[in-house]
Structure 1
Amino acid sequence: MLGREDLGADLGERATLVQFSTAFCQPCRATRRVLDDVAGMVGGVAHVEVDAESRLDLVRRLGLLGTPTVLVLDASGRVVRGGGGQPRKADVIAALGAALP
């Protein structure tokens, strides 16, 4: 479970898209746009971006191996889906289906 203390931001009312990024990661920029678009389309969904380099404790705790990594959290902060690399918008929307009530 992840919460405000882990992410530095509030969870979405229905789900949260968490993106782990680094400053020089080119695919992270495109991932940010995709996740922002999806969060804007689906009510109650938040997009939170975490700087992986400044949160190595969390990266290690979650066993993340690279950036971008995207986690889909349900309303309680439980990780229901996750993956590395730049996602397609359709895949993010499908993954949200596992988190939304």
Structure 2
Amino acid sequence: MPRTRRIGGALVRGQGDDGGLGTPGPHLDAADLGAELGGRATLVQFSSAFCAPCRATRRILGEVARMVPGVAHVEIDAEARLELVRALGVHKTPTVLVLDGGGRVVRRAVGQPRKADVIAALGEAV
């Protein structure tokens, strides 16, 4: 049964926190992220200050967002947004969520992604 809960000012709907491939993931909006969503997709990165893979992930996601029209990259400081981190079940940084144009989580990955994998994941979102 789908659950609904509040994150910040918005409702997050979904069957679980995994944003899983087989179940609808939660929906996030600009108020949740503190930034506008991309028209086609959004790459959401949870980072922490002393995380070396987070810096490389920032570079990779930024490159992909610049390459693909309508895709935005939003980086969130996990330590500053603990309520959102807990609600989404983020346990490690970097964690990357791929949102479709409506803000639904369609993919989730932990660790530094490869550029090719990010581009492939966007195929599910657009």
Deviations 1:36-70, CA, capped at 9 Å, x for gaps: 00001100000000000000000000011100000
Give the aligned CA root-mean-square deviation in angstroms: 0.4
In the aligned structure 2, how far is the partner of 1:2 from the partner of 1:21?
18
| 1:61 alignment counterpart | 87
- 1:73 CA drift (Å): 0.1
> TM-score, normalization: structure 2?
0.79
Identify the residue that residue 115 of structure 2 maps to in structure 1.
89
Within 5 Å, which residues of 2 pair with 1:19-30? 19-30=45-56
Q: Distance in 2 between matches of 1:10 and 1:54?
A: 18
Superposed CA deviations along residues 9-59 of structure 1, whole A, max 9, x for unmatched, are 000010000000001100000000000000011000000000000000000
SS of structure 2 residue aligned to 1:18? strand
- Aligned pairs, number: 100
Higher relative contact order (CA closer than 8 Å, sequence separation 6+) = 1
**Structure 2 residue matching 1:43: 3-state secondary structure:** coil
Name the % identity.
73
Equivalence for 2:32: 6
Q: Is 2:49 the counterpart of 1:31?
A: no
Q: Any stretches of 5+ residues in structure 1 without a counterpart?
A: none
Measured in 2, the distance between the counterparts of 1:11 and 1:41 equals 16
Matched to 1:10, the amino acid is: E
